[in-house]
Amino acid sequence: MTGEQLSIDLLKKFSPLNGLKRDNLTALAKKVQIRELSPQQLLFKEGDTEKRTIYIISGALELLDQGKLSEVIEGGTDSARNPVSPLFPRRVTARAHDRVQYISIDSDLLDVMLTWDQTGSYEVSELQGSVDDGGGDDWMTMLLQAKAFHKIPPANIQAIFMRMQQINYKRGDVVLKQGSEGDYFYVLTRGKSLVTRETPLNKEGIKLAELSVGDTFGEEALISDAKRNATVTMTSDGAVMRLGKEDFKRLLNEPMLDWVTPSEADAIVQNGGQWLDVRLPSEFENHHKDGAINIPLYFIRLKINTLDRSKKYVVCCDTGRRSSAGAYILSERGYPAYVLKGGINTM
């Protein structure tokens, strides 16, 4: 049974999941699986800080306070309807007494969904009518799970989804062209596409990234007020949802970026952070911050997996314009990112 997708009837047995609207519960069920513990296996330790909301489905889970048994939670009982030891850091150690089945949900994601649900700001059923069959709500639930979206107020999320417009494409269609003006932010909702960048030595374009359902693109030009730095071409039939430039800046970009002063940036780096310079290599070679690494903005998507998710990055350029675009991409993908206010020219 381990790894089995949940039914919404099972989720409705738990609090506060039973308060979610049915469509939102369905969206959550698609992202949660039943997991299993062997007898005496630890679920978490006292002091753990990972934000996961955990519910026991079957079996008995022992809670140990400084090594002494303080409580036993058995699946199917009233005590199992509520999250296990919900405070962070954990106040107890949790150990399986026998074979235990449980579910684990990202606590921030759950909190956001509950907020949207209870404020009436988000409901999957309101949006599905605008998406063709084949894309479903996968792209929306992927955005829900993006850590950066947790920074955005629920009312903004509602406005973002409601103002998006669906556009259908055929294989080979160009969604956006390098050198054109930036006018929309895009989410791929169906199909696949390829990101390429033309250079003087390669007119056909070098491959920067492959995009699939849930991936976003087009934000760099909107944030930096520059022309498109790459071309996105559909490699299959598909569709996108797009959001206009002004709506993107006001509703999505501004809440997502964390700006820091030079002194705040230095403190982050001195405490284990990392300078990330997104200018061109020639600019970087001319002058840069000590210890900085260089990934040009147009290579961020291609090189992002080389970065460390546990490290804080202070993204910089000469003025702050390109670095804000780079920090947005990092933040959107779950990397702790800050933007140097004013850029390194002011330091």
In order, the DSSP letters of 267-330 are HHHHTT-EEEE-S-HHHHHHS--TT-EE--GGGHHHHGGGS-TTS-EEEE-SSSHHHHHHHHHH
The one-digit pLDDT tens for each residue of the chain (347 residues) are 455 557 889 999 998 888 777 877 887 888 788 999 999 999 999 999 988 999 999 999 999 999 999 999 999 999 999 999 988 899 999 999 999 999 999 887 777 677 666 554 444 444 443 444 444 456 776 776 666 677 777 667 778 888 888 899 999 999 999 999 889 999 998 999 999 988 877 777 788 889 998 888 998 888 888 888 899 999 999 999 899 999 988 888 888 789 999 999 999 999 999 999 999 888 899 889 999 999 988 788 889 999 999 999 999 998 888 888 889 889 888 899 999 998 887 76
Query: Any catalytic annotation for residue 316?
Result: no
Q: Which amino acid is at 81?
A: R
The CATH fold assigned to 8-106 is Jelly Rolls (2.60.120)
E-assigned strand segments in the chain: 35-37, 42-44, 52-58, 60-65, 68-74, 93-96, 100-106, 165-169, 174-176, 184-190, 193-199, 202-211, 216-217, 231-234, 238-244, 259-260, 274-277, 293-294, 313-316, 337-340
CB contact at 8 A, 54 and 103: yes
Prediction pTM value: 0.58
Predicted local confidence at residue 177, as pLDDT: 93
Chain CA centroid to CA 289, Å: 29
Predicted local confidence at residue 131, as pLDDT: 40
Predicted local confidence at residue 95, as pLDDT: 97
What are the residues facing 169 on neighbouring strands? 238
Residue 282 exposed, middle or buried by CB count within 10 Å (0-12, 13-18, 19+): exposed
Q: Could you give phi then psi for residue 124, rounded to 5 degrees?
A: -55, -40
Could you check whether 8-106 and 257-346 share the same CATH topology?
Answer: no
What are the residues facing 56 on neighbouring strands? 102
Number of neighbouring beta carbons within 10 Å of residue 183:
15
CATH architecture type of domain 257-346: 3-Layer(aba) Sandwich (3.40)
Q: Per-domain residue ranges for the chain? A: 8-106, 121-253, 257-346
**Rg over CA atoms, the chain:** 23
For 128, the token pair is 């599905």
Predicted local confidence at residue 1, as pLDDT: 44
End-to-end CA distance of the chain: 58
Predicted local confidence at residue 130, as pLDDT: 40
For 295, the token pair is 């990934």
**Identified catalytic residue from 94, 131, 317, 344:** 317
CATH of 121-253, one of 2.40.128.20, 3.40.50.880, 3.30.1490.20, 2.60.120.10: 2.60.120.10
Per residue, the 3-state secondary structure of 231-260, as one string, reads EEEECCCEEEEEEEHHHHHHHHHHHHCCEE
From 292, 299, 290, select the one nearest 326 (Cα to Cα). 299
Residue with tokens 């599905």: 128
